[in-house]
Structure 1
Amino acid sequence: MLPAPAALPRRLPHAVTFVAIAAIFVLFMAASSAPSPLYVVYQQNWDFSATTLTAVFAVYVLGLIVSLLVLGALSDHVGRRPVLASAIALEAVALVLFLVAGDVSVLFLARLVQGVATGAAMTTMAATLVDLNPPHRPARAGVVNGIAPTSGLALGALGCGALIQFAPSPTHLVFALLLGAMVLAVAIVAAMPETSARRPGGLRSLLPRLGVPARLRTEFFALVPILIASWSLGGLYLSLGPSVAAGLFGLTNHLIGGLVVTLLCGTGAMTTFLLRNRPVQKILRAGAALLATGLAVTLAGISGGSVALGIVGTLVAGTGFGASALAGFGTVVRISAPAERGELFAVAYVISYVAFSLPAVAAGLATTAFGLRSTALVYATALMLIAAAALVVEQVRTRRIPS
């Protein structure tokens, strides 16, 4: 049993731990997006279809969702440190599998293990940041929980794209570097204070369930449309974005393949930071409107083969993506009590990653059957309509709130 924080005078200070956990959050998300620019390389080396490519992407999300369902509330019972340390160890196993992968079967296994590790880590780190949130800056944890996933996805894709293009051993070096970073992360977790007291029910919490306390349902479920719209867009970019850049726009440079993801996610991270002090309701509406507008511009770019329109559309949609992340996770932070945080973040992430994965898998199947251009056009059109619907839902909900 871990000692109480008060009995650990040599532990890292809370302020230092907050920054360290935020950095580990970014690291995990960077590791999760690093394979995206490599999919084209793997596809060339091992000669598999777009359907197989998106299946590799989907198996990661499957592992992540199962992990969220089973382990999402565990740190509320056994403490944050044990769950986070176990997740880092499992992530290290996944990175070793990437290093030794010689065919699609090992790639599938690596992504599955990585998904389980990331799911366990995400909710634990999100809850830890809220636990450590400084009283004088009550919104800081929500801002970091909104920025960390998008900035990590952006850095992982861009860094891996650069290594593929300019460094040796493109399918190995990035994973060796990430593995070294995970060793450092383990040392940080060993030195951090425990922020959540143990309480009974740990084994019972492993039973898969999705629960939102009755008092939170109205506010929480109002977030669902925008979560679906924004994370479906993220899934498209991470699974097929580099392929669209190469196949439809003729941009075969691997750095550009990573930059496609970075444009969306990096813009999202910057938007989250810039809007951190704005009212959540206004951010939700703005996020939905920007998603719809950005997708409309991207759709025009795909239709006309215009790289410039594709870039502009991605930047506008990325702004909407970041605004949606800030409003969504900021709301979860605001409404949840300490004992509810792990489970509530798990529900939010499950919804997000189902939206992140299922449409992308469907797009992969459609690409094999109907071609990349037709699939991209239909996908972008559908997401534009979902984003517009999310905007309508948010406007109606806001008008019903008594002034």
Structure 2
Amino acid sequence: MMKKYVYPSLLVLALFTVTFAVNLQAPLYGVYAQESNVGSVAVTIAFAAYVAGLLPTLLFLGGLSDRVGRKGPIIISLVLGIAATALLVVSPSWASLFVARLLLGVGTGLATTSGAAYMTELVGENKAGTATVLVTSATSLGFGSGALATSFSLSLYGPTLLPVSYIVLFILGAVLIMASAMMPKTDKTKNLSLFRLPVFPSGTWVYGLAMMLSWATTGMIIAVVPLELKALKLDQWIGLVIFLGIFVGFLCQPLARKISSFKSLSLGLIFIPVGFFVIILGSVTSSISLILIGSSITSAASYGFLYLSALYEFGSRDPKNRARATAGLFIYAYAGFSIPVVLSGVLADLFGVIVAMKIFMLFITIVTVFISMLCFFKRKHSSFNVIK
């Protein structure tokens, strides 16, 4: 009974905590930038440092848990989340933000690849769909809740470099490190090379490209849109914008589970450009309501329909290499999460944030049309499953 409910619950909480730490510092980006007297490009570079830590982890350590077991990478991820946040408290600056984001990227890479495989082993291979939902739910809530928690803390207690949300992470992370050490070793480790490249299962490229596009949009919401909110004197809404940009996707996951992965893909491709257009409209008219609505629409794609269906497709099409397949998916996702955001930061410094957002809008529209055309021509030769 304990194995059936308690251990999966502990893993859900651990994955939530690891991802909770990732965007915890987002509402304070401007403060760290001011401490070091840097601009938009520096902010987006620090934001993308997360990917600089994550991608090598996915590329070279995506199969680590197959060799050493699932628990170790989860515990290391929790330690890295605490260490990164502590660094920002001890030395609040752009340089510290860069290093912290780097550490958070490594931690997320370890946790997401081992966590997906570990959850499937805890609940059973016959419930792979349930395992996928648990992992996506935990990480979606975690990614969104961190920024909201810090914004809420700052609004309650005023400006500080040690918000209550940081303290919550320190306590929860420490407890989970001890609890995770007692979790069972359900997997059978394999005598494989420590460095194992990710795999890209046949037929998953469409989901990979769509995830790349949708997470590029999420990256804009986390790193670039807050710069415009600050310019509009709406920076108190940053946490909620980021939270909705992720949490609404979590709410869409039950629906995504009931429809075919192709329909999920189609809905996601529609919501990405529509949502970001509404965000731009809200920015031009200084309407926080439109910005919140647009952020919610993009979230439905990024962390709802596309995230769930892509994670399921990558894992189910190569179940013997589930951890490495998950790493392959996140290679796509985080390439989108970083490169367009940094380029938008450069454009923001040169031409202004609104112009950078409009250019990004043009980019995602063109890419969405391209992906949709590829899907149309390839659909007859591909299989699209319902998540079970």
**TM-score > 0.5, shorter chain as reference:** yes
Measure the CA separation in 2 of the matches of 1:160 and 1:54.
19
Of 173, 190, 211, the residue aligned with 1:227 is 211
Q: Which amino acid aligns with 1:164?
A: L
Deviation of 1:302 (Å): 3.5
Pairing 1:187–2:169 present = no
> What pairs up with 1:264-283 in 2 under 5 angstroms?
264-283=245-264
| Partner of residue 236, structure 1 | 220
Which digits, 9 at most, give the CA deviation of each residue in 1:264-297, with x for residues without a partner? 1111111113332222111111111122322333
| Partner of residue 3, structure 1 | none
Shift in alpha-carbon separation, 1:303–1:167, aligned structure 2, 3 A: closer
Shift in alpha-carbon separation, 1:63–1:138, aligned structure 2, 3 A: closer
What TM-score, normalized to structure 2? Answer: 0.91
Measure the CA separation in 2 of the matches of 1:183 and 1:130.
25
Of 154, 157, 165, the residue aligned with 1:164 is 154
| Partner of residue 252, structure 1 | 235
What TM-score, normalized to structure 1? Answer: 0.88
Whether the 8 Å contact between 1:14 and 1:193 is mirrored in structure 2 is no
| Partner of residue 243, structure 2 | 262
Q: Which amino acid aligns with 2:167?
A: A
Measure the CA separation in 1 of the matches of 2:145 and 2:91.
23
Deviation of 1:301 (Å): 3.1
Number of residue pairs aligned between Structure 1 and Structure 2: 382
Measure the CA separation in 2 of the matches of 1:274 and 1:27.
25
Measure the CA separation in 2 of the matches of 1:155 and 1:224.
25
Of 194, 199, 203, the residue aligned with 1:211 is 199
Measure the CA separation in 2 of the matches of 1:73 and 1:250.
45
Question: Where does the alignment leave 5 or more consecutive residues of structure 1 unmatched?
Answer: 1-10
Pairing 1:317–2:308 present = no
Shift in alpha-carbon separation, 1:334–1:257, aligned structure 2, 3 A: same
Aligned residue for 1:205, secondary structure, equals coil
Aligned residue for 1:399, secondary structure, equals helix
Which digits, 9 at most, give the CA deviation of each residue in 1:185-222, with x for residues without a partner? 11221121112212112xx2326x3433xxx32x2212
Of 55, 59, 81, the residue aligned with 1:91 is 81
Which digits, 9 at most, give the CA deviation of each residue in 1:229-255, with x for residues without a partner? 1111111111122212222x43132xx
Deviation of 1:304 (Å): 4.1
Deviation of 1:380 (Å): 2.3
Pairing 1:394–2:375 present = yes
- Greater shift in the superposed pair: 180-189 or 295-304: 295-304
Pairing 1:196–2:187 present = yes
> What pairs up with 1:8-27 in 2 under 5 angstroms?
13-27=3-17
Measure the CA separation in 2 of the matches of 1:308 and 1:168.
24
| Partner of residue 42, structure 1 | 32
Measure the CA separation in 1 of the matches of 2:59 and 2:4.
29
| Partner of residue 66, structure 1 | 56
Deviation of 1:127 (Å): 1.3
Kindly, what percent of the aligned residue pairs are identical? 23
Aligned residue for 1:195, secondary structure, equals coil
| Partner of residue 381, structure 1 | 362
Whether the 8 Å contact between 2:117 and 2:322 is mirrored in structure 1 is yes
Of 299, 318, 332, the residue aligned with 2:280 is 299
- Greater shift in the superposed pair: 129-138 or 24-33: 129-138
- Greater shift in the superposed pair: 150-159 or 295-304: 295-304
| Partner of residue 361, structure 1 | 342
Measure the CA separation in 2 of the matches of 1:351 and 1:368.
27
Q: Which amino acid aligns with 1:328?
A: A
Whether the 8 Å contact between 1:99 and 1:176 is mirrored in structure 2 is no
Question: Where does the alignment leave 5 or more consecutive residues of structure 2 unmatched?
Answer: none
Shift in alpha-carbon separation, 1:37–1:206, aligned structure 2, 3 A: same
- Greater shift in the superposed pair: 339-348 or 306-315: 306-315
| Partner of residue 155, structure 1 | 145
Whether the 8 Å contact between 2:35 and 2:93 is mirrored in structure 1 is no
| Partner of residue 7, structure 1 | none
